[in-house]
Structure 1
Amino acid sequence: MTAFLQGRPVRGFHGQGYQEGYEEGSSLGIIEGRQHGTLHGAKIGSEVGCYQGFAFAWRGLLRSHATGKDSKKMKVLESLLGMIENFPYDDPTYAKLHEDLDRIRGKFKQLCSLLNVQPDFKISVEGSGLSF
């Protein structure tokens, strides 16, 4: 097997060492990339899941105690749930993932403002939480 360095073949022990190092580095890079992607994906999923749980709880509350002035709150709440439902959980290559996540965050903040709720959202490796 001939290794290449800057487009030129490298022979002997140097070439073998280069090739082994390259293969080892590639393998470790894939493992590290998967670990990073898994952790980052879990954080995003946890965040969006908290928004969804929050919206489901408030939808139940608003429906059972609805007044005429709650229609705007319900409209924003249903919009948030629609955005969450259409979020591409299963497509890590989705180009607008961060844009959509920012839109969801913005809609969540709008809903909190309408509900007069001050959320304190924290994400950590151990888990996430949404407190009031």
Structure 2
Amino acid sequence: MAGRCGGEDLFDNILLADERFRGEGYQEGFHRGSRRGLQEGRRHGASHGAKLSTEISFYYGFAVTWRCLLRQSADVRSRKRMKALEALLALIHTSPHDDPQSAHLQEHTEKLRAKFRQVCSMLSVPADFSDYIRTSAGTSF
């Protein structure tokens, strides 16, 4: 009977070792996956944030430049354009772009894009933001 107990212990040890190794493997995989997920999340967030920042900065530069160009004109059409440019600048200044956790960021960004398209229409210029930021193949940010 002593031989039998030794065999059962060996069998139990094998089963327990299998369970232990599965548990350890799961924990190790879970921790590695969590770290990798955080790294990829940070990389994605930084990339998305940089794109949004580039877009808003472009709108700001666009509006300031056109405002300077239109200041010298006093006709009714130029005043309407100036009013629209001022509204675009006001949206930029009140944008929650410095708070990536803001619940209103997406909504505000859509309003900003719509106002930009309206201003472009009034100025008779293309409204496709990507046309303005094309760079040579060798240039990267």
Output one character per residue of 1:65-114: Cα deviation in whole Å (capped at 9) or x when no partner: 33233221111110100111111122111112111111001101111111
Q: SS of the residue aligned with 1:64?
A: coil
Partner of 1:33 in structure 2? 41
Superposition TM-score, scaled by structure 2 size: 0.76
C-alpha separation in 2, matches of 1:102 and 1:64: 31
Output one character per residue of 1:12-33: Cα deviation in whole Å (capped at 9) or x when no partner: 1111111111111000000000
Partner of 2:24 in structure 1? 16
Is 1:51–2:43 an aligned residue pair? no
Partner of 1:69 in structure 2? 77
Letter in 1 for 2:49: G
C-alpha separation in 1, matches of 2:38 and 2:31: 11
Q: Percent identity?
A: 47
Letter in 1 for 2:57: G
Give, in angstroms, the shift of residue 117 of structure 1. Answer: 1.4
**Runs of 4 or more above 6 Å deviation:** none
Is 1:129–2:133 an aligned residue pair? yes
Partner of 1:99 in structure 2? 107
Higher relative contact order (CA 8 A, sep 6+): 1
Superposition TM-score, scaled by structure 1 size: 0.81
Give, in angstroms, the shift of residue 122 of structure 1. Answer: 1.2
* Residues 97 and 105 in structure 2, CA contact (< 8 A), matched pair in contact too: no
Letter in 2 for 1:129: I
Q: CA RMSD in A?
A: 1.7
Partner of 1:85 in structure 2? 93
C-alpha separation in 2, matches of 1:120 and 1:93: 27
Gaps of 5+ in 2: 1-18, 135-141
Partner of 2:124 in structure 1? 116
Partner of 1:60 in structure 2? 68
C-alpha separation in 2, matches of 1:14 and 1:61: 70
